[in-house]
Structure 1
Amino acid sequence: MKKLTVLTGITTSGTPHLGNYVGAIRPAIEASRDENVNSYYFLADFHSLIKCHDPARIHQSRLEVAATWLALGLDTDKSTFYCQSDITEIPELTWILTCMTAKGLMNRAHAYKAAVQDNEEGGSPDPDKGITMGLYSYPILMAADILMFNANIVPVGKDQTQHLEMTRDIAQRFNHHFGEHFVLPEARVDESTAVLTGLDGRKMSKSYNNYIPLFAPEKDLRKLIMKITTNSQAPEEPKETEGCALFEMFRAFATKDQVAEMRAKFAAGIGWGYVKQDLFEVVNAQLAEPREKYAELMQNPAYIEKVLKEGAEKARAYSRPFLNRIRESVGIKTLTA
């Protein structure tokens, strides 16, 4: 049976947080243990340049994200783990795909349309004010990431499904003109994947600065959990689990038995302070060991660099000959051929 290729990228523009862990990193690492899957995991550092123009932050985030994946148990012998920027074939494929991508397709990208809408609502006479070509055309870079390794499956959130549709459109257009080179990837949206709420009641996000760092020291972790916004219900009042940020976060880290016990406590009436303490304990229990490994890895960037370079060579063993075939298909080949 031919193995499926599954590809996942994470942007290197900040510190990984609890939401990244339960929503993307943990399920990806679990999936990487499937013997019937070729897993590709990469640091999307070119993508991070779209919104972050702080070199120190980009550099630090690349280190932190790589250390996070390794500390959480990613098996780099069974998967391919690399930096996007180390695969020199990706920018070249991006340009080739750009030359085949309709501008109208890019005009419909959600991120671009949202930026235009913000400008218009802000009264700007220029709807494209402040919009870079990176923001405008990054769905093509994302397509190159996916198509370079002919990924069959790309796990994404609901907000990213449009990019997979665009990737399929770009691949189909290229295949029509130059022959069948690209597999048409499929998005995998896991409806059961938890989406954590941040400290202020909104979705946990670096953009909102409401996140809890994944490997915050134990004391800081507890302080941050104690800051999570709750309603003003009295301790003895029965409480609803539905829509409760604390309960959802607890469920993302606890066992089934622990969740059932907490549900009963909610029904009987439990003070928010006790809920937060129980939440801290289950989160800390799951992250204590990886936190120690993470701290060790952060002190050994040379080892992380070595792992990433080895992963890049493994990836390029596929991308180099594949791009050569793409180049030949569009007419960029030796003159004597």
Structure 2
Amino acid sequence: MTDKKEVILSGIRPTGRLHYGNYFGAIRHFLRLQETDACCYYFIADYHALTTITERQEIYRATLDMLRTYVACGLDPYKSVIYRQSDLPCTAELSLLLGMLTNIGHLERGTTYKDKFTKLQDDPKSEGNPLSYGLLGYPVLMAADILIVRADLVPVGDDQRQHLEMACDIAAKFNHRFGEVLHIPRPLGRDALRLPGLDGSEKMGKSDNNTLDLLDPPKTVLDKIKAVPTTTEPAPLDTDSNDPDIVIGKMPSGVGVLYRLLSLLAPEEVYLDYLDQYRKGGKFYGSLKKTVAEYASQFNAPIIESYNDPAHNDDFIKDFLRENAKRVTPVALETVERCREAMGIGHSLYRA
């Protein structure tokens, strides 16, 4: 009898073009996980993407483009099971079942919902509470995503930990009422890097227009790096450490972005040489920016080449999404049928 493989699950919002924050925050971790003995499920959270839209968005197109980039970065759709959330309709059914025992007050205490609600309260253009049921029920759908494949481990950052805790609470409540049906997952810490934006802001994000994208050509990379705000003179460092995690936080924000990128992309001796120049002072930011841009373009080059490979066209993406949906469906349906039976409505008599 062979040991059961651990099941790891993570969701990916279909954002279209991916940037360095996505790579060093998640993709790099996914690449490491796919080389382990674990069974890795990665779903494209296209239902979740609908929670905040106010008009039609090309989510399907963004999904295909994003997955081409993931494959170009090295994610293997046959080592890992990559599927669309909307291609697994029984997830919505499980979300409905779980919603029957989830308190509204519990959902209203969710950080994401509270943050959105607070922003709307401060917006004079907002009337009443225009937040959707989908946003309020986001944690229930996320719980269904996790529980339906009986995940053992879920990689989470600090900003997602509450949602996993809510999923575990919902599962525990279900099991208490109806018997030990749902498998309760554990958090998997990851060495996710919160990469600052090119404008010096706390986080690189598409909506803030401060990203360095994985598909940016050399000229775009250089233009973006040149535009990073830098001070006229280096500020003194009150540490002898060369550790980027210690040093960069003591630099002006724009300069810190450049050194963070250099520490990730360049050989260590290059990073240390520019760190030495910073400590000595002087005018070297032009050279620093040029060097960072060169290493970023080198990093992007194989990703762009693979992305443009005709073998990785839309048909390739659609084919593996279709096949992987077939792989995950039996697992998901078994979970839903167990829940239906436990709650007393019995097994489904027909599924299209």
- Normalization by structure 1: what TM-score? 0.90
After superposition, the C-alpha distances for 1:125-181 in whole angstroms (9 at most, x for unaligned) are 96x522111111111111111111111211122111110110010010011111112
Distance in 1 separating the partners of 2:152 and 2:347: 31
Give unpaired runs (5+ residues) of structure 2: 239-246, 250-255
Distance in 1 separating the partners of 2:347 and 2:170: 26
Distance in 2 separating the partners of 1:103 and 1:133: 11
Give the match for residue 189 of structure 1.
Answer: 189
Alpha-carbon deviation of 1:266? Answer: 2.6
Contact 1:11–1:48 (Cα < 8 Å) also in 2: yes
Give the match for residue 199 of structure 1.
Answer: 198
Among 23, 26, 42, the alignment partner of 1:24 is: 26
Distance in 2 separating the partners of 1:262 and 1:8: 37
Q: Secondary structure at the match of 1:212?
A: coil
After superposition, residues 17-166 of structure 1 pair within 5 angstroms as 17-35=19-37, 37-122=38-123, 129-166=129-166
Give the match for residue 319 of structure 2.
Answer: 306
Contact 1:52–1:58 (Cα < 8 Å) also in 2: no
Q: Secondary structure at the match of 1:216?
A: coil
After superposition, the C-alpha distances for 1:43-76 in whole angstroms (9 at most, x for unaligned) are 1111111123454431221112111111111122
Q: Please give the root-mean-square deviation of Cα atoms over the aligned residues, in Å.
A: 2.4
After superposition, residues 149-298 of structure 1 pair within 5 angstroms as 149-190=149-190, 192-202=191-201, 203-233=203-233, 241-243=247-249, 244-269=256-281, 271-296=284-309
Segment of structure 1 superposing worse, 241-250 or 168-177:
241-250
Contact 2:337–2:348 (Cα < 8 Å) also in 1: no
Asked if 1:326 is matched to 2:332, the reply is no
After superposition, the C-alpha distances for 1:106-129 in whole angstroms (9 at most, x for unaligned) are 010111111222233335796x52
Contact 1:157–1:189 (Cα < 8 Å) also in 2: yes
Give the match for residue 253 of structure 2.
Answer: none
Distance in 2 separating the partners of 1:162 and 1:303: 36
- Normalization by structure 2: what TM-score? 0.87
Distance 1:297 1:94, change over 3 A: farther
Distance in 2 separating the partners of 1:184 and 1:256: 42
Contact 1:29–1:73 (Cα < 8 Å) also in 2: yes
Q: Which amino acid aligns with 2:113?
A: Y
Distance in 2 separating the partners of 1:137 and 1:334: 25
Distance 1:228 1:94, change over 3 A: same
Q: Secondary structure at the match of 2:210?
A: coil
After superposition, the C-alpha distances for 1:91-113 in whole angstroms (9 at most, x for unaligned) are 11111111111111101011111
Alpha-carbon deviation of 1:260? Answer: 3.1
Asked if 1:315 is matched to 2:328, the reply is yes
Alpha-carbon deviation of 1:3? Answer: 2.1
After superposition, the C-alpha distances for 1:181-223 in whole angstroms (9 at most, x for unaligned) are 2222222333x42211112211111221222222112221221
Q: Which amino acid aligns with 2:209?
A: N
Distance in 2 separating the partners of 1:331 and 1:259: 63
Alpha-carbon deviation of 1:335? Answer: 9.8
Distance in 2 separating the partners of 1:121 and 1:56: 26
Q: Which amino acid aligns with 1:177?
A: R
Alpha-carbon deviation of 1:79? Answer: 1.3
Identity %: 34
Contact 1:112–1:136 (Cα < 8 Å) also in 2: yes
Q: How many aligned positions are there?
A: 331
Distance 1:53 1:214, change over 3 A: farther
Distance 1:334 1:224, change over 3 A: closer
Contact 1:151–1:183 (Cα < 8 Å) also in 2: yes
